[in-house]
Amino acid sequence: MKYQIWILIMGATAFAVASFVIFPSYTMNSMTTKSKKQSDLRVMSYNIHHANPPSQKDSIDIEAIVNTIKKQDPDLVALQEIDENTERSGPGNQAEIIAKKLKMNFFFGKAIDFEGGSYGVAILSKYPLQEEKVYKLPTNPGTGGESRVLALAQVKLPNGKFLKFGSTHLDAQKENTNRVLQIKEIAEISSKEELPLIIAGDFNASPGSKVINLLDEELTRTCNNCEPTIPVNNPLRAIDFITYAPKQSFLMKDHKVIDETYASDHLPVMATLKINF
């Protein structure tokens, strides 16, 4: 009887040791796989033209914007040309409506009063947002340019790390006077930021211009030979970009322009960045 009890005890001990060796290894592999997934960040920039499809002059099609974003499954989205309670777009904040449909967090940055409501840019995020702030960008009073902003928020990633994410939309006038002032302000804000930083948006300027040259001095674009993003049919100019800093904090894995020609007058831009912090 004692011998049988001893056998049972030894068997249980062996099983416990085997479990300790085998199961932690399985758990670590699972955690490693999960960690690898979290190290990739999918970022989109999209000027949504207040959800007005160019081919449908007076219509608002939020679902078309939602579906475009949903198909790409981004973690972070920088939106431009967002209406809030305006006559042309109707009640509600478009960023909030889109975010709820996508089950994402949002932050709206008002640029101007417009048609009884507001107009500006926004941020969408799968992850928690905090320390949201709207930076007013400079405009030369003599130009009659429209006020522009940078919406910036702190994002808490699944790995517990933090980064700053911003959305902007620079002046659209033919002369680049205001865009130069605005990109210098964005560069100044970026240079003082201590956390890794991603800023995306509609810069209304193409590579090789003074504006983008100034941008490139402070931040890194996710494309070099950037595909055009406007107009949506037979696009000719690249003016929508995703940028980041410092350079060593991210590894650019993929950049593409999404061929979606109905929902907006801009093509959306997507990038996949590997987090190196």
Q: What is the pLDDT along the chain (277 residues), one digit of tens a residue?
A: 444 444 444 444 444 434 433 333 333 333 344 444 558 999 999 999 999 999 999 999 999 999 999 999 999 999 999 999 999 999 999 999 999 999 999 999 999 999 999 999 999 999 999 999 999 999 999 999 999 999 999 999 999 999 999 999 999 999 999 999 999 999 999 999 999 999 999 999 999 999 999 999 999 999 999 999 999 999 999 999 999 999 999 999 999 999 999 999 999 999 999 999 9
The whole-number pLDDT of residue 238 equals 98
Residues 125 and 211 both lie in one domain: yes
Residues 108 and 34 both lie in one domain: no
In terms of residue numbers, what domain contains 15? Answer: 1-38
Residues 24 and 74 both lie in one domain: no
Is residue 4 classed exposed, middle or buried when 0-12, 13-18 and 19+ CB atoms within 10 A define those classes?
exposed
pTM, full prediction: 0.86
Structural domains counted in the chain: 2
Residue 65, SS3 per DSSP: helix
252/67 Cα distance (integer angstroms): 25
Residues 119 and 245 both lie in one domain: yes
Write 95-104 long-range contacts (CB < 8 A, 24+): 95/122, 95/123, 95/124, 97/62, 98/62, 98/65, 98/66, 98/69, 98/124, 99/124, 101/62, 101/63, 101/66, 102/66, 102/69, 102/70, 104/77
The whole-number pLDDT of residue 21 equals 39
- Specify whether the CB–CB gap between 42 and 74 falls below 8 A: yes
The whole-number pLDDT of residue 19 equals 42
Q: In whole angstroms, how large is the CA radius of gyration of the chain?
A: 24
Residues 267 and 160 both lie in one domain: yes
Residues 137 and 150 both lie in one domain: yes
Tokens found for residue 142: 């003599």
The whole-number pLDDT of residue 27 equals 35
The whole-number pLDDT of residue 39 equals 87
Residues 29 and 50 both lie in one domain: no
263/47 Cα distance (integer angstroms): 10
Residues 23 and 77 both lie in one domain: no
The whole-number pLDDT of residue 38 equals 56
Candidates 261, 244, 254, 259; CA nearest to 201 is 244
Print the SS3 string covering 92-135.
EEHHHHHHHHHCCEEEEEEEEEECCEEEEEEEEECCCEEEEEEE
Residues 109 and 17 both lie in one domain: no
